[in-house]
Amino acid sequence: MIFIVVKWKIRPDKADEWLSMVDPFIQATRAEPGNPFFDWSRSIDDPNEFVLVEAFRDGDAGTAHVQ
């Protein structure tokens, strides 16, 4: 399994709408057969920072995702 964690700094004027903006990509990624989870969390310390936690079953699933 490939496990990825990424912190994203979002522009302050876009932070409140960030999850809505990326929702089509979230839904598409979650629908991929090799993706067990793809979840965002908003930092409680910095409202402009989000953390993405995602996983892919194996290298083939990860490759399919980026293509």
CATH of residue 26's domain is 3.30.70.100
pLDDT in the model for residue 31: 95
Distance CA 57, CA 55 (A): 7
Could you give the number of structural domains in the chain? 1
**Residue 26 domain boundaries:** 2-66
pTM of the model: 0.84
Q: How far is CA 44 from CA 9, 26, 41, 48, 49, in A?
A: 13, 21, 9, 9, 9
Question: If pLDDT is split at 50, 70 and 90, which confidence band does 67 have?
Answer: confident
The mean of the pLDDT values for the chain is 95
